[in-house]
Amino acid sequence: MTPIILAARSVAEKIKLEKKSEVLVVSHIDADGITSASIATFVMENLGIEYQNFFVKNLDEDILQRIGDMGAELVWYTDIGSSVKDKIEGVSNQAIITDHHTVIQSRTKSNNGRVFELNPHNFGIDGGRELSGSGITWIMAYAILGESVERLVPLAVTGAVGDLQDNENRALVGINKKIADIGESAGYVKQVTDIFYYGKETRPVYKMLQYAFDPVIPGISGNESAGIEFLTNLGVELRDDEGVWRSWVNLSGRERRLIISQIVRRILFSDCVPEDAVRVVGECYYFPLEHLGTEIHEAKEFATLLNACGRYGEAYIGLDVCLGDRGEAFRRARVLLRGHRRTLVESLDTVLRVIGIEEYGTLLYFHGGNKILDTIIGTLASMLLNSGEIPTNKPIIAFAKNTEGKIKVSARAPRPLINMGINLAQAVRIAADTVGGEGGGHSAAAGATIPEGAEDVFLREVEKIINKQLGNG
């Protein structure tokens, strides 16, 4: 990680943050955006600089104009910005971008040193897998404040997990992993090989298994009573002595191993692909300074809590939780989480049973219209790819109408297709450009906003580009 740290130090020296009177922190609304915002905010608080936070779904021309109009001396973009670096140069006095999205080659010449971009892609590091927005922001913070930011490693890890960067390898890799190790050495993170499902802290174990879909547990996923029977047959008590449902973290090591071994057995002796069995376990990230059995004690649950804030227009609540609020903000975040979980379950059902998934050549797609919230179609597309309910040999494109009457697009592709050369960020960006929209992202996960009515042309363009990427075009 040395070249990135050196670059971050050089940015820190040039920008002289400590001398700024007011900084605007602009961040993406998802878990990675919120954690990266909180890391930047921690820096501001530490240096005693006036600051303001601003959360955005994207950086279209109107929003950039608004940011420019706010007139901040310095704008710090976290987990967003690289795809519109040229435009940022046009509106900001001075800016730092700590982002991990695909970079675009600058179309304009030097901007007199006003915009400083720190992005792993510029160092030959895959920002889609090896470093999150929160991670690159943490590196910037480390360059400014040194070891005192070790306590923020849980936030950097949570952002990476929120972006599913641990998904393919069942562990964080690359610089993400190095940051997690730093956190572990300093006592802020515990890395444990454990069951990889969501809900280990706050869901009753049978519920965790019912909602387990990556990988699917034959006969148990989606079937509440089957999960209860499975646990009972293994002799695992469902409730503790006080009658409270036991969650995964309340089980003994022996109980956990027993359950994992039986899940693996079920997968191996079903018609699932055998590789699914190893995906049941992976590196899980726990935060020992938080209370066991709470959403903030484990990275996946923490990330989902933050998404439940940001995706419903309440990123500020998530920010407060990241900054240490365990009172009102935490309570409100938990309420939002209940709604988010319900919305995800209902929306997944709507997509599968009401809307349906269509084929379009080498693509799959669905159109959520007004039935599915635009801010969660990406999450749904990721869930669908891993659900065993749809073919996994094609990328999936999801559409939904947003509150401005435009169409939000989310695209996701399974890793084997990425290894074959598919780059969704490129395909989606070019196709969106063609129809007068804008888009970008990572090779495995990209998004766009396009005008209503342009969906067909957009699909056609994406398909054309993807075929070309695969060498078929």
As a whole number of angstroms, the distance between CA 308 and CA 335 comes to 9
Whichever of 256 and 442 has its CB closer to ligand C5P, that residue is 442
Minimal distance, residue 306 CB to ligand C5P, in Å: 11
Q: How far is the CB of 226 from ligand C5P (least distance, A)?
A: 28
438 binds, among ligand C5P, Zn ion, none (CB under 5 to 8 A by kind): ligand C5P
User: Which one, 163 or 463, has the nearer CB to ligand C5P?
Assistant: 163
Residue 444 binds what, of ligand C5P, Zn ion, none (CB under 5 to 8 Å, by partner type)?
A: ligand C5P
The CB-of-121 to ligand C5P minimum distance in angstroms stands at 12
Q: Is residue 32 within the footprint of Zn ion (CB under 5 A)?
A: yes
- Shortest approach of ligand C5P to residue 183 CB, angstroms? 20
Single out the residue of 59, 64, 79, 365 in contact with Zn ion (rule: CB under 5 A).
79
- DSSP state, residue 166: T
Count how many residues are written for the chain.
473
Three-state SS at 189: coil
- Report in angstroms the alpha-carbon separations of 111 from 91, 114, 116: 12, 6, 10
Q: How far is the CB of 107 from ligand C5P (least distance, A)?
A: 17
Q: How far is the C-alpha of 206 from the C-alpha of 64, rounded, in Å?
A: 47
174 contact, one of Zn ion, ligand C5P, none, CB 5-8 Å limit per kind: none
Q: How far is the CB of 397 from ligand C5P (least distance, A)?
A: 10
Extract the runs of DSSP E, i.e. beta strands, from 340-425.
358-360, 363-367, 396-401, 407-412
Residue nearer to Zn ion on the CB measure, 194 or 438 = 438
Q: Which stretch binds Zn ion (CB under 5 A): 158-166, 188-196, 392-400, 434-442?
A: 158-166
Rounded-to-integer distance, Cα 130 and Cα 160, Å: 9
Nearer to Zn ion, 32 or 201 (CB): 32
Are 77 and 26 a contacting pair, CB within 8 Å? yes
| Residue closest to 303 by CA, chosen among 11, 31, 7 | 31
When asked if residue 194 is in the footprint of Zn ion (CB under 5 A), the reply is: no
Write out the two tokens for 390: 């749809």
Considering the complex, state which of residue 228 and residue 309 has its C-beta at the smaller distance from ligand C5P. Answer: 309
Asked if residue 127 binds Zn ion (CB under 5 A), the reply is no
- Residue window 435-464: x/- pattern of binding to Zn ion, with contact defined by CB under 5 A: ------------------------------
Q: Is residue 163 part of the contact set for Zn ion (CB under 5 A)?
A: yes
Contact residues toward ligand C5P (CB under 6 A) are 28, 30, 32, 58, 79, 83, 101, 133, 163-164, 167-168, 378, 382, 410, 412, 438-442, 444-449
Tell me if residue 438 falls in helix, strand or coil.
strand
Closer CB to Zn ion, 32 or 438, in the complex: 32
**Calpha distance 47→52 (Å, rounded):** 14
Residue 311 vs residues 62, 307, 308, 375, 399: alpha-carbon distances, Å: 20, 6, 6, 6, 16
Quick one: CA torsion of 314, 449, 130, 144, rounded to 10 degrees?
-60
How many chain residues are in contact with Zn ion, going by CB under 5 A? 4
Strand order in the sheet with 95-98: 50-56, 22-28, 74-78, 95-98, 115-118
Q: Which of 128, 133, 378, 440 binds Zn ion (CB under 5 A)?
A: 133
The residues of the shown chain that bind Zn ion, judged by CB under 5 A, are 32, 79, 133, 163
